[in-house]
């Protein structure tokens, strides 16, 4: 992004292909083509940094979900995709990855406009990882093997298992990190041979729509990937649809519970990536030059709008003042701004509702006794920018300790020489169990804590890093199942056991 940036006209920073794409009258992507929604209604897509509308999308309905599910069902039962030779399916999924790279600037532009994160992190991290993700899962299409089992039934038998695609999958996406969240879900499901109906989040639909037409360009058969934009009710229609075999959801824990209830009708398979309240431990032997920016970025990445945000920071008393001062100085050095502005380190919050929620939780935190080390209020102006915030003196009874804030707020607590068991108990004092990090050079302490923290992901001397081959998901109310790696293939396949009676032993 080397163009001139103007806050009053962010579209001046956008390439011609993206401008053309945004200017189109977007329909729903069903059966391999753009179709009009049944309601005729449209929804504005707004840049959270400026409040300016840059596109509009179709407001889908449950009838549109019916059409999309019918297209996905037809593609699953009658189309070539599930039966295609694995290497051919792999080639198409791989080609999607290549096309994402080739159009990387466009995807990054769409996500910066929709979600507001800084260009550098979106382009070099989120979009690049999305392309990697498709290439990685392309490799799985040729490796969906089963096993042979010795069995003890009477006579002689050949018993084996095989993996089959789960069928028609509904995928409901959150608004944070939109392109990568779409890739996390779509790539493994395609590799497994499923057909999909994807419902992007209301605030951030543009990269998923662009991805749909790119998938067609890569050779994905019609009806394999369908995209229906719209409100939560559209997601609910997908989650309860009787002809959907599985629903995969990323979003809040409250909505995750609604999905589970909706899925009960036909007992569809469910996987959930939900909220978190991830603990971070800094010990005196940690490399503080690495740890201080590391624990700050554990939350400030994406303005705190990350499910694994390391929002509960436990600092050992020997380094407490130094770490607190260092994180505060780091926070104060961050420049809030538009994602296209090369000077920006921190974007806005996604919408007014989230902004008000962060503000409300901050006020509650202070009224309950937490003290503000830095930040603690909206930035100047009437936008959705919230100052990176460090709170000290937080205790487990405080609301900010328990509730996911999903904003740039760190709650710091002092620890002493508690045992690993006591520290793990503290870390586990939450209804969530998604991420955690431990900053220390003491390998034994790091591994013991990693073993005892009840969370799906533990980093040592880092935080928030992801890889297509690194399973991701939560314990407790942070979710069901693991995305990425082989685990993601398991989410999108059923195991069939076949027993062939060969007759009497002779
Ligand atoms: P949300 O639950 O409000 O919405 C997520 C999606 O669900 C949106 O597409 C929305 O339209 C849809 N939806 C809303 N109500 C629905 C319903 N009743 N039935 C079906 N779909 C419905 O969450 P959000 O505000 O978009 O995302 C923020 C949350 O997501 C945070 O809590 C965050 O921790 C979590 N998150 C988790 C992960 C992870 O990997 N675990 C990743 C990203 C975000």
Which tens digit of pLDDT belongs to each residue from 261-281? Answer: 999 999 999 999 999 999 999
Count Cβ neighbours within 10 Å for each residue of 83-94 and write b for 16 or more, e otherwise.
ebeeeebbbbbb
Closest C-alpha residue for ligand 1 atom 40: 273
* Contact (Cβ atoms closer than 8 angstroms) between residue 355 and residue 378: yes
Alpha carbon distances (Å) from 80 to 124, 186, 452: 35, 18, 47
Q: What is the average pLDDT value for the chain, to the nearest integer?
A: 97
Instruction: Inform me whether the pLDDT recorded for 2 exceeds 60.
Output: no
Report the SS3 class of residue 142: coil
pTM (2 decimals)?
Answer: 0.97
Which residue owns the Cα nearest ligand 1 atom 42? Answer: 307
Q: Which residue of the set 106, 273, 297, 483 is catalytic?
A: 273
How many A from CA of 251 to the centre of ligand 1?
2
Q: Is the pLDDT at 6 greater than 90, yes or no?
A: no
| 325 catalytic residue (yes or no) | no
Please tell me the distance between residue 310's alpha carbon and the centre of ligand 1 in angstroms: 19
Residue whose CA lies nearest to ligand 1 atom number 26 = 174
Taking the centre of ligand 1 as the mean of its atom positions, its distance from the CA of residue 387, in whole angstroms, is 24
The answer on pLDDT for 462 being more than 60 is yes
Handedness of CA 276, 257, 76, 99 (dihedral sign): negative
Q: pLDDT of 159-187, one tens digit each?
A: 999 999 999 999 999 999 999 999 999 99
Please give, one letter per residue, the 3-state secondary structure of 257-272: HHHHHHHHHHCCEEEE
Q: Give the confidence band of 460 by pLDDT, cuts at 50, 70, 90.
A: very high
Checking if the pLDDT of 56 tops 90, the result is yes
Q: What is the pLDDT of residue 24?
A: 95
290-309 pLDDT, tens digit per residue, is 999 999 999 999 999 999 99
405-422 pLDDT, tens per residue? 999 999 999 999 999 999
Whether 215 sits among the annotated catalytic residues: the reply is no
pLDDT interval class at 1 (50, 70, 90): low
Instruction: Give ligand 1 pocket residues (Cβ under 6 A).
Output: 172-176, 181, 199, 201-202, 231-232, 235-236, 239, 250-252, 255, 258-259, 273-276, 307, 404, 406, 434, 474, 479
């Amino acid at each position: 992004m080397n163009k001139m940036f103007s806050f009053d006209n962010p579209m001046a920073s956008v390439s011609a292909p993206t401008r053309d794409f945004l200017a189109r009258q977007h329909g729903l992507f069903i059966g391999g083509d753009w179709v009009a929604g049944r309601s005729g209604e449209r929804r504005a897509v707004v840049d959270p940094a400026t409040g300016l509308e840059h596109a509009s999308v179709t407001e889908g309905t449950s009838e549109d979900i019916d059409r999309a599910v019918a297209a996905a069902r037809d593609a699953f039962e009658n189309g070539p995709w599930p039966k295609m030779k694995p290497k051919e399916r792999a080639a198409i999924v791989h080609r999607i990855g290549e096309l994402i790279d080739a159009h990387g600037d466009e995807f990054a532009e769409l996500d910066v406009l929709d979600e507001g994160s800084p260009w550098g992190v979106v382009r070099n991290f989120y979009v690049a990882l999305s392309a990697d993700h498709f290439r990685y899962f392309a490799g799985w299409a040729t490796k969906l093997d089963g096993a042979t089992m010795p069995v003890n039934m009477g006579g002689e038998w050949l018993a084996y298992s095989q993996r089959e695609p789960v069928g028609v999958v509904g995928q409901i996406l959150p608004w944070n990190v939109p392109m990568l969240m779409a890739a996390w879900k779509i790539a493994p499901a395609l590799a497994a041979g499923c057909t999909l109906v994807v419902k992007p989040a209301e605030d951030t639909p543009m990269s998923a729509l662009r991805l749909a037409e790119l998938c067609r360009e890569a050779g994905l058969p019609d009806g394999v990937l369908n995209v229906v934009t719209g409100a939560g009710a559209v997601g609910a229609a997908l989650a309860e649809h009787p002809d959907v075999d599985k629903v995969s959801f990323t979003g809040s824990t409250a909505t995750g519970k609604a999905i589970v209830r909706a899925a009960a009708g036909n007992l569809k398979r469910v996987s959930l990536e939900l909220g978190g309240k991830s603990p971070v431990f800094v010990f005196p032997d940690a490399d503080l030059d690495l740890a201080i920016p590391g624990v700050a970025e554990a939350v400030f990445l994406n303005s705190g709008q990350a499910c694994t945000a390391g929002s509960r920071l436990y600092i050992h008393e020997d380094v407490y003042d130094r770490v607190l001062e260092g994180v505060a100085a780091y926070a104060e050095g961050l420049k809030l701004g538009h994602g296209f502005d090369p000077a920006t380190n921190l974007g806005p919050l996604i919408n007014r509702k989230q902004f008000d929620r962060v503000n409300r939780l901050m006020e509650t935190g202070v009224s309950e006794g937490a003290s503000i080390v830095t930040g603690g209020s909206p930035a100047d102006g009437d936008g959705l920018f919230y100052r990176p915030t460090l709170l000290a003196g937080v205790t487990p009874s405080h609301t900010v300790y328990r509730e996911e804030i999903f904003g740039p707020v760190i709650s710091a607590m002092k620890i002493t020489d508690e045992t690993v068991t006591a520290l793990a108990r503290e870390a586990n004092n939450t209804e969530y169990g998604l991420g955690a990090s431990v900053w220390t050079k003491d390998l034994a302490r790091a591994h013991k804590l990693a073993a005892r923290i009840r969370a799906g992901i533990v980093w040592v001397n880092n935080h928030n890093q992801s890889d297509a081959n690194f399973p991701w998901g939560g314990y407790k109310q942070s979710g069901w199942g693991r995305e990425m790696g082989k685990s993601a293939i398991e989410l999108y396949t059923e195991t069939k056991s076949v027993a062939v009676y060969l007759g009497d032993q002779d």
